[in-house]
Amino acid sequence: MKTIQGPGLFLAQFIGAQAPFDSLDGLAGWAAGLGFKSLQIPTGQPQIFNLELAAHSQEYCDEVLGCLARHGLAISELSTHLQGQLVAVHPAYDLAFDGFAPPQVRGKPQARQAWATEQLLMAAQASQRLGLTAHATFSGALAWPYFYPWPPHNALLLDEAFSQLAQRWRPILDAFDDAGVDLCYELHPGEDLHDGVTFERFLRQVGNHPRCHILYDPSHLHLQQMDYLGFIDVYHARIRAFHVKDAEYRPSARSGVYGGYQPWLERPGRFRSLGDGQIDFPAIFSKLTQYGYAGWATLEWECCLKSPEAGAREGAAFIARHIIPIADRAFDDFAAGSGDRQQVRKMLGIGEKS
Give the residue numbers spanning the domain of 144. 5-347
> Could you give the CA distance from residue 108 to residue 143 in angstroms, rounded to a whole number?
20
In this prediction, residue 328 carries a pLDDT of 82
Angle separating helix axes 228-235 and 281-290, nearest 10 degrees: 10
* Vertex 293 angle, CA 289 and 297, to 5°: 90
What CA–CA distances, in Å, run from 315 to 191, 233, 309? 26, 25, 10
Of 197, 4, 25, 192, the C-alpha closest to 93 is 192
Residue 352 lies in a domain: no
Summarize the confidence of residues 312-320 as an average pLDDT. Answer: 98
**Contact of 29 with 2, CB cutoff 8 Å:** no
208 in a structural domain: yes
User: In the prediction, which pLDDT does 354 show?
Assistant: 52
Q: How confident is the model at residue 230 (pLDDT cuts 50, 70, 90)?
A: very high
Beta-bridge partner residues of 214: 185, 239
Query: Into how many domains does the chain fold?
Result: 1
pTM: 0.95
238: pLDDT strictly greater than 70: yes
In a domain, 353, yes or no: no
CATH number at residue 37: 3.20.20.150
Residue 244 above 60 pLDDT?
Answer: yes
CB 56 within 8 A of CB 125: yes
